[in-house]
Structure 1
Amino acid sequence: MAPIHYRIDPAQQHAHLYRVTLTVARPAAGQELSLPVWIPGSYLVREFSKNLQSLRASQGGAEVALEQLDKHRWRARCRPGKPLVLEYEVAAYDTSVRTAWLDATRGFFNGTSLCLRVHGQEDQPHDVEVVRPRAMAGWSLATGLPAHHTARSGFGTYRAHGYDELVDCPVEMGPFWSIRFTARGVPHRLVVAGAAPSFDGKRLVRDVRRICEEAIAFWHGEGRPPFASYVFLLNVVHDGYGGLEHRNSTALICGRRDLPRVGQSDKELQASEGYTQLLGLVSHEYFHTWNVKRLRPQEFAQYDYTRENYTELLWFFEGFTSYYDDLLLRRAGLIDHATYLRLLAKTTNQVLQTPGRHVQSVAQASFDAWVKYYRQDENTPNATVSYYTKGALVALCLDLALRREGRTTLDAVMRALWQHTGAGPMAEADLLAQLRTLSGRDWSAEIAQWVHGTGELPLAELLAAHGLRLQADTAQLAQRLGLRVQESAGLQIKAVLRGGAAEAAGFMAGDEWLAVETPGEAWRVHKLDDVPLYAGNTSQINAQVTALVARDRRLLRLPLALPAAGATGDTVRIDVSDASVAQQWLGYSQPV
């Protein structure tokens, strides 16, 4: 048995409780233990200890006193020489990829939610033994952890080299669908839980394999990736989306309608936004295996699980990954040019329609992720910018600018960073150094402007140099008004964008838009599309109407200048002007 051994018993499925027994073979006197407050890849203090209960300790059968030091740390009043045994329960109610879940149909957990950290012994081998109760006879287990003593079902004991590896390998349990495949000679496994009977697993694994092969080729050419095997853990729910990267696996969530179905044609799947989004998610999290799990911010050289870990580089690690996720789908032939440009235009519009891009730089957004990106409110679009979307556009501008000068590409810069840093920690200075080496000039002015400034990016100019046009497009009504709304239960105002018609009228987040009044008439509205229906002649500029809204049970009449239906606002599309030039960047000349 390893010096640190966790026995995890998921028998209390109906109570949604994991029973954990931690044995420390050689404890220190007054051994300290703690549960992480966050999980790497998701930059928010989540207080996982709130789910831990009934903690007790013993040594040689005798109870050991525990002193709680703060919200997530304990000290056991133990003596060295005898194993220390801790027993506790963890409530598992979260279906997300970040924590833990348990019921009679499925189990899932990250080590950051279940495994107390033994201070001073993090580099010792750690065993995790997951037992299968009788009620789970039809279940299997999948994880990226190295197997030590396991049954064919996957239940048994796994051994990690240390605590970091232990908590970087999530565990999936249940009667899931599973298939193994190879990509560039490396074993991969795709695990799907909760899919409908119509699910076409053969199609999904075919496309996932193409993504893996494209990503491995991107980083290594004909070489092999830095992992011996890889596991995709996909949880399928009625409505959901998300993923979290790990060193040799990823946990994903998608909606059932997003999966390919038996009998669907290639054309139907090409038209499926949900399936394209799922493939983009797979591509994104797989690319992270290199870009953030190994090539990582210098500040993440050693994770501190007790507090926030700040970096200004999420624009690179999340943003550049967001640039390449869809681009690699195009290069793999999984989407065509038109689909890729539509996705790129969507990202561009998300940035252009965020007034906060003039307030916060993307470097600041990276640093503030802990308090702003993961804690969004009604003012978020006015005060912040996403390091995912703007970071992706910074990568686009950098790639197109490098290609225009003709000496190198962003692909080559990424590979050089991988080789130069030894696939380890890096700083912004490392990026600038590789840009200078490969391109022959200094890029600090562009990085200062695009990353540390709040000005507009030169998208139109750079796209034009590669056979593409950035065209103004007709804006949707919400954008023309400067609103973000929710329509599931009436017309609810989620956010009012800075400088828009809605702000000028006096709208406020939290308002319910009840009706539109014109001279002599008033009409009830339930959706935003009802507004132009009842507002009269909306082709004229700034048609005047009165919006009736409810705020704190009070009815207010707000004078609203309704923008004309043809107004463009901050909305664009991307068209091809020279296909042969665009092809040199987009790649993959074969039809999908």
Structure 2
Amino acid sequence: MELTLDLTASRQHLIRCRLRFTPIHQALELHLPVWTPGSYLQRDYVRQLQNLELVQAGAVVPLVRREPSVWTAQLKPLLPVEVNYGAMATELTVRTCHLDDDHACLTLAALALQVNGARWTPHHLHLLLPEGWEPFVPLPCLDGPTEHRWIAASFDQLVDTPVEAGPHRWHGFEVHGVPHRWVCWSAVGGDPNPLLERYPQLLDDVAGVCSACCRLMGEPAPAAADYLFVLHLLERGFGGLEHDNATVLQYGLEELAKPGGYRRFLQLVGHEYLHQWNVRRLRPAELTPIDYDRPMVVPTLWFAEGVTSYYDQFLPRLAGIGTDADLWDDLGAELSRYLLTPGRLLGQTLRQSSQEAWVKLYRQDAYSGDNQISYYLKGAVVALVLDLQLRRAGSSLAAVLRALWQTHGRWRRGYSEADLIEAFAAQLPELRKQLPAWLEGQEDPPLHEALHSVGLVLVPHKDTAPFTGLACSTSNSSLSVQKVARHSPAEAAGLCVADELIALDGWRLHTPSDLTHRWQEGRSHSLTIGRHGRLRCLSVQPAAPAVQSWRLQPDPDGPAAALALRTQWLQLVPC
């Protein structure tokens, strides 16, 4: 199997694809994946495909579309086949394809056709590049690095390979003897590696975070034999996608300029790097093997992503970057976000959040916060509670993670939810009942009690303005409703998302501040709105100011035993 990708039509944003192979069946099937591992949303990459044509022995063979992303053909004797097609590359995310004059970033799930019977056979990749471009591909080179040819052991390894190309500079470093490459493309122009200008210690810090992941897992070296970091530095944006021996990251300069922005960037690095153990090799059974044709219900995504999200905040600190106060700020912000999400109590259980990832988490709307909770977010909260409860019993979450790595991850043996529960119960028997209850119930796990055990408290901070549960924004000189909180005065008044806010007590409204400074607690206000072209008058009675945020801080009255446990906890590694 040889897949050739011609990137020379960069100004058309068009990837010209050619797949050559010798079939082993006369009844041929071609499948294009509908999703890419690590991002649980059906993306239907077939939307970008065009001009699909199959040629054998110089003649075009008709293709029959059996499903939107599946084609069949009846071949003549088993002679070599060539499949030609184009793919538009205009989506700049870590899970799609983007091609322009500056660079190419390719998700091969969007480009590689799977041939029936050839999934486990070697696949060759060949790139045709614009002049002056260099490719970055985490696969073994074939015929030397200047030939732009690589070999994947299987279709799975090919699909797991991110491709970055462009006139980029790159930097190398090692983590416990394992070579790493760092390549950055800056969408905002200028120096392609502005992070290194601003933070000359960047590569040392990244290497430190990578080493901290190894320490956490109790491993002398990374799981991968080599590793590629690809960073897209944007004006604004945030995200990452993990691969067996690579990751693609996106980060915004606006976020970087905020207090703690660099630290949060290193947390993103740590999150995706830790995934080479937890998710890529230590993998849910439902993803072993992966079915690229359809979504699979995975009830344990809370462990795959939640546990990783819990640890990513600690990894820079474990690498000696930042202070304990920084950690309290970051962890407190996540706990505040969790406690201020109504959907954690009203919408989903943690298991349901994992199971419904395909249809809810990646399809947010104005009401999502009221009827769902992220398995990243609540999974991290449950991980925190589990870690502290295990530590009080002389164990730790890291001990569970390491044990699962030895029994499942090292052998790429998929785990079930029952396997996870048994792994926790082996460290603390009472978790055999407690953990399923936290997964199945909508109540909070004992978060405050867990924090108290390490001498920390969450302190509520109330808003200064009366509570209405109404969020609004200005667009095209019109003030409109963005969100209506569940069980709020705004909901009781009958407000809906997209309502135009026109006047309050006869005063014309133009900006959100026109509202906030006029609300009075306990008083009934007359709010004039526009909905579907008609004016309406609603009565809104604001309530007492609500909690605006929670802050995590040490308890000055905490006992010495709590301080000792906190010191041990901050080291992350098992007792």
Specify if TM > 0.5.
Answer: yes
Distance 2:163 2:103 in 1: 11
Report the equivalent of 2:507. Answer: 522
Structure 1 residue 138 and structure 2 residue 132: aligned?
yes
CA deviations over 1:127-186 (Å, ceiling 9, x no partner): 010012xxx22211112122213445xx61110000000000110111223111111111
Q: Is the 8 A contact 2:479 2:509 kept in 1?
A: no
CA displacement at 1:487 relative to structure 2: 4.8
> Which has the higher mean CA deviation after the structures are superposed, 236-245 or 83-92?
236-245
Aligned CA distance change for structure 1 residues 477 and 309 (closer, same or farther; 3 Å): farther
- Which of 118, 121, 132 is the equivalent residue of 2:118? 121
Aligned to 2:206: 208
Cα gap change, 1:491/1:582 in structure 2, threshold over 3 Å: closer, same or farther? farther
RMSD (Å) for aligned C-alpha atoms: 2.1
Equivalent residues in 2 for 1:172-191 (5 A)?
172-191=164-183
1:496 touches 1:502 (CA, 8 Å); kept in 2?
yes
Distance 1:273 1:145 in 2: 35
In structure 1, the partner of 2:427 is 438
Decide which of 350, 357, 371 is 2:359's aligned counterpart. 371
After TM superposition, the score normalised by the length of structure 2 is 0.92
- Paired with 1:485 and 1:532, the residues of 2 have a C-alpha distance of 11
> How big is the shift at 1:580?
5.1
Question: What residue in structure 2 maps to residue 562 of structure 1?
Answer: 542
Separation (CA, whole Å) in 2 of partners of 1:145 and 1:530:
57
Deviation at 1:415, TM superposition (A): 0.5
Task: Give secondary structure in 2 for the equivalent of 1:429.
Answer: helix
2:337 to 340, 344, 350: 350
Amino acid at match of 1:533: H
Distance 1:48 1:19 in 2: 15
1:305 pairs, out of 283, 292, 301, with: 292
- 1:33-72 superposed matches below 5 A: 33-72=30-69
CA–CA distance in 1 between the matches of 2:571 and 2:291?
A: 41
Quickly say closer, same or farther: Cα 1:144–1:122, change in 2 above 3 A: same
Q: Check the 8 A contact 2:473/2:511 in 1, yes or no.
A: no
The answer to whether the aligner puts 1:193 opposite 2:180 as a matched pair is: no
Query: 1:482/1:333 Cα in 2 relative to 1: closer, same or farther (>3 Å)?
Result: farther
- Per-residue deviation at 1:334? 2.0
Matched letter for residue 553 of structure 2 = D
1:585 paired to 2:572: no
Structure 2 CA distance for aligned equivalents of residues 363 and 277 of structure 1:
27
Task: State whether residues 27 and 79 of structure 1, in contact with CA within 8 Å, keep that contact through their aligned partners in structure 2.
Answer: no
Taking the aligned partners of 1:570 and 1:384, their CA distance within structure 2 comes to 20
Indicate if the aligned counterparts of 2:180 and 2:228 stay in contact, CA closer than 8 A. Answer: yes
1:488 deviates by 5.7
Paired position in structure 1 for 2:554:
576
CA distance in 2, matches of 1:396, 1:557: 47
Counterparts in 2 of 1:232 and 1:476: CA distance versus 1, 3 Å: farther
1:20 maps to which residue? 17
1:109 equivalenced with 2:97 (yes/no): no
Amino acid at match of 1:142: F
**In structure 2, distance between residues paired with 1:241 and 1:421:** 31
- Normalising by structure 1, what TM-score? 0.89
1:246 aligns with 2:230: no
Cα distance, 1:39–1:315 mapped onto 2, change above 3 Å: same
Query: Residue deviations 1:164-218, cap 9 Å, x none?
Result: 0000011011122311111111111111001654614133222211111100121
What is the distance in 2 between the residues matched to 1:203 and 1:248?
Answer: 23
The residue correspondences of 1:488-567 to structure 2 (distance < 5 A) are 490-517=478-505, 522-527=507-512, 529-535=513-519, 538=520, 541-564=521-544, 567=545
Tell me, in whole angstroms, the C-alpha distance in 2 between the residues paired with 1:319 and 1:485. Answer: 31
Compared with structure 1, are the counterparts of its residues 476 and 116 closer, same or farther at alpha carbon in structure 2 (3 Å cutoff)? farther
Structure 1: runs of 5 or more not aligned: 260-268
1:340 counterpart = 2:327:
yes
Q: Secondary structure at the match of 2:143?
A: strand
Judge conservation of contact 1:576–1:582 (CA < 8 Å) in 2: no
Q: Return 5+ residue gaps in structure 2 as ranges.
A: none
Q: How does 1:412-423 map to 2 (within 5 A)?
A: 412-423=399-410
- The amino acid of 1:426's aligned partner reads Y
Deviation at 1:455, TM superposition (A): 0.8
1:27–1:84 Cα contact (<8 Å) kept: no
| Residue identity matched to 2:260 | E
Report the counterpart of residue 265 of structure 1 in structure 2: none
Work out the CA distance in 1 between the residues paired with 2:313 and 2:430: 28
CA apart distance, 1:97: 0.9
Distance 1:411 1:383, change over 3 A: same
Q: CA offsets per residue over residues 297-335 of structure 1, 9 Å max, x none?
A: 111111111111111111111111110111112222222
Distance 2:502 2:64 in 1: 56
Q: What letter is aligned with 1:107?
A: A
Secondary structure at 2:483's aligned position in 1? strand
Cα distance change, pair 287–503 in 1 and its aligned pair in 2 (3 A) = same
| Alignment match, 2:450 | 462
Which digits, 9 at most, give the CA deviation of each residue in 1:20-55, with x for residues without a partner? 110012342021111001111111111111111111
The alpha carbon displacement at 1:476 in A equals: 7.4
Partner of 2:5: 8
| 3-state DSSP of counterpart to 1:148 | coil
